[in-house]
Structure 1
Amino acid sequence: MTHSPELSTARWRSSSYSNSNGGECVEISDDFPGLIPVRDSKNPTGPALIVRAAAWGPFISSVK
Structure 2
Amino acid sequence: MDLTGAIWRKSTRSSGNSGNCVEVADNLARVVAVRDSKDRQGPVLTFTPNTWRSFLAYAKQR
Q: Distance in 2 between matches of 1:53 and 1:9?
A: 16
Unaligned ranges ≥5, structure 2:
none
Number of paired residues?
59
TM-score normalised per structure 1: 0.75
User: Quick one: distance in 2 between partners of 1:9 and 1:34?
Assistant: 12
Matches within 5 A, 1:9-24: 9-19=5-15, 21-22=18-19, 24=20
State the Cα RMSD in Å: 1.6
What amino acid sits opposite 1:47 in the alignment? Answer: P
CA-CA distance at 1:30 after TM superposition = 2.3
Shift of 1:9: 4.1
Structure 1 gap segments, 5+ residues each: none
Over the matched positions of the two proteins, sequence identity in percent amounts to 37
Q: 1:50 aligned to 2:40?
A: no
Shift of 1:35: 0.9
Structure-2-length-normalised TM-score: 0.77
